[in-house]
Amino acid sequence: MPILRKREIENLEQLSGEELEAFLDLLPAAQHTISELIDFVEDELYDAECNHSLQFSMRYMMENRLDFGKITSWLNNNGGYCDCKVLAEIAPIWRAKFGDD
Ligand SMILES: [Zn+2]
């Protein structure tokens, strides 16, 4: 049996104290940067279809000179394989925990 690794973000709701700090320390960018990335992707997808890539996430990373390798692998590991998946898989859990800031 392969070991199924749970997506890290699925545990986010339960984290607090030191565990939450550890989660935040392991993020590929600051918490508010990830929140802004999610908001940016949501705004872009309001007028455009997802083309099954991370094109808008990448644009945000480029414009903000972020580390694409690290952020892309974090998004992928959490189910964000393309922009619409970032919104479907990551945004609700993220916002439930951190609100809209
Ligand atoms: Zn998509």
Q: What angle do helix axes 91-98 and 31-47 make, rounded to 10 degrees?
A: 130
User: Does residue 99 surpass a pLDDT of 80?
Assistant: yes
Would you state the structure tokens that stand for residue 96, as one six-digit string? Answer: 């439930």
Residues in the chain: 101
- The mean pLDDT of the chain is 93
| CA–centroid distance, residue 61 to ligand 1 (Å) | 17
| CA–centroid distance, residue 11 to ligand 1 (Å) | 23
Considering the entire predicted model, what is its pTM?
0.90
Task: Report the distance separating Cα 83 and Cα 44, nearest Å.
Answer: 9
**What are the C-alpha distances in Å from 95 to residues 5, 21, 69, 71?**
23, 17, 23, 18
Please name the residue that has the structure tokens 């960018």.
Answer: 29
Q: What number is the average pLDDT over the span 3-10?
A: 72
Would you state the structure tokens that stand for residue 64, as one six-digit string? Answer: 């903000």
- pLDDT above 90 covers a percentage of the chain that reads 86
Q: What number is the average pLDDT over the span 7-35?
A: 93
pLDDT grade, residue 3 (50/70/90)?
low
Would you state the structure tokens that stand for residue 23, as one six-digit string? Answer: 């989660």
| CA–centroid distance, residue 42 to ligand 1 (Å) | 12
| CA–centroid distance, residue 73 to ligand 1 (Å) | 16
Return the number of other C-beta atoms located less than 10 Å from residue 48's C-beta: 11
| CA–centroid distance, residue 95 to ligand 1 (Å) | 19
| CA–centroid distance, residue 81 to ligand 1 (Å) | 7
Convert the pLDDT of each residue in 54-68 to its tens digit: 999 999 999 999 999
Q: What number is the average pLDDT over the span 2-20?
A: 82
